[in-house]
Structure 1
Amino acid sequence: GHSMGDKTLIKVGQALKKLCKRPGDYAFRLGGEEFCVIASNMNYQETLTFAEIIITEIEGLKIPNEYSAVSKYLTVSIGSFVSVPKKTETTDYFMSIADKNLYQAKGEGRNRVIVTI
């Protein structure tokens, strides 16, 4: 029920926070079951590696997910975007690209990351 869902959100949030070790790295909940991680000063390969670590860590929490066709444990899909921001680009712009990539990751089978530049 709701209590289990709340505990799951807390565990995921704590795991993400623990992985954000560098100054300028942030993890926060957007709402519902969506979280956002901002990791600054990473290139494409570093971003991909970091996202893969997140995927491994979350599944490693071994939170039961009996209704999933992907895994018996909770997994995450990640959409990411790597860019040097320009003054004309808004937060909404970056979030919309990351969100598009998230839906692509889900559409391709979940438990994966899609990163674009």
Structure 2
Amino acid sequence: MPRLPAQATRKGKRRTANHTGEIMRINIYSQELTSEVILVEKASNTEVVYHAAQLILHSSEKLHHPPEDDDRSAVTFWLPKSDHRREEMAKAFEEIAAIFRTAPKATGLD
């Protein structure tokens, strides 16, 4: 799969364009973050079983009636098939973890 073009952004960082060439950005605010991560398994109608890591986002208890109605928002990362791509993505998430641990403490909200 070819790499999509990237554009320079502030502080020398780069953003990757989506398949239409437009910049795609997803914002998850710190108040929405939880530490809940789950493994998702989904069988398709072609008998292929897909797996994903899902980061569950904060959701008000008032939105779930009855309580077993788990339709909370989440960010779902579908796992690549190849070991190479899985390792690439694991390294990217390790970079995110490093940023969480080392970014200046005086920024952000809880």
Q: Quickly name the TM-score band, shorter chain normalised.
A: under 0.3
Structure with the higher strand share, 1 or 2: 2
Higher relative contact order (CA 8 A, sep 6+): 1
TM-score between the two structures when normalised by the length of structure 2: 0.25
Structure with the higher helix share, 1 or 2: 1
